[in-house]
A and B are shown apart, each in its own frame.
Chain A
């Protein structure tokens, strides 16, 4: 991939538009980043993207910011992460600065509320599409351990409401034990 001006503009615009149009915070932006960089642009491989998200989730700070830093670094080093982080922080800075001036009007406006209610459905559809794709990819590997980890982690998170960082740490520790010590097979 050639690192010309066009590349950097595309990198900036990708993170900028995701941050500007995605309602629902980091957990919505991250799956969309995966869709953008893995499926649409083919700049990052699926497995690598999941690695980056795992690391971003275990680090402090907003997950969308952390993931954009890692994606930027992966694609173009420190300067790349500078580009993606500016892309991610600019939209909230602009939008909220404007809204904070007259937020009572914004909060009670019927049209804006209708727009946001409709967009919620769109966001849910996009997320559902991403989830179907990712779960399919794990099932397709036919790796029983991976499928088991996925099911247990889902139950832990949805039913028992266990903290995401704890789930990450436990599954990573299990992977280290199972693949490195028990099976002695580190290849993916």
Chain B
């Protein structure tokens, strides 16, 4: 029965989270803290840290984490499936209509307006990730940054990274692993 409850909770999270993983966080908070007593407040704070520290989509990390704590591996699987089921249904329907009607001129007009906006949305999310990498403090914005908060090692790593990506077309995954290893030597050993 608990598995069914987990499924239904994460189904709702997947269904109402418009705008990606960060939009899902308040919904997850409601489900695991208010609707059910699945996690303590401290555990929920840890969930946020770990979901953002570990690779993968944040909503899926959170689903797996809650599922495991509540009902072990079956819980993790059920929570993940619950979270992606609304996407599967809705996005498959949208895909079907998109590929059927994408050549209609009215659809082309909409898409032509959309594309530059999507580039900006990706750029905007990218900028916050860049800020997070370059400044030591977590809650830095364009309005309150100061020189003493700048992490110069990170700036060098980012610059070298962009250089090898653009000049030598290096594989992005290799770049990320390489900077991680450099990180161990600089931040961990020194």
> Which A residues fall within an 8 A CB radius of B?
17-32, 35, 47, 50-66, 69-70, 73-74, 78, 81, 85, 88-89, 91-93, 95-97, 99-101, 103-104, 106-107, 110-111, 113-132, 134-135, 138, 146-147, 149-151, 153-154, 156-158, 163-165, 167-168, 170-176, 178-180, 186-188
Contact = CB atoms under 8 A, between A and B. Distances in A.
B84 A126 contact: no
B116 A150 contact: yes
**B53, B77, B119 interface centre (most CB from chain A within 10 Å):** B119
A167 to B, nearest CB: 6
Contacts of A51: 98, 102, 111, 114-115
Contacts of A167: 117, 120-121
Most chain A CB within 10 A, of B53, B65, B83, B99, is at B53
Contacts of B90: 59-61
Given A78-B92, A130-B122, A164-B19, A96 B76 contact: yes
Contact of A53 (B22, B50, B118): B118
Q: Name the prevailing secondary structure of the B interface residues.
A: helix
B41 interface: no
A55 B124 contact: no
B124 A115 contact: no
A25 B91 contact: no
A121 B154 contact: yes
A65 B115 contact: no
B18 to A, nearest CB: 5
Given A65-B84, A128-B130, A188-B108, A60 B99 contact: no
B57 A29 contact: yes
16 contacts: A23-B53, A65-B57, A73-B99, A92-B60, A93-B80, A96-B50, A96-B68, A115-B180, A119-B177, A119-B179, A122-B179, A122-B180, A154-B120, A157-B121, A165-B18, A178-B113
A21 to B, nearest CB: 5
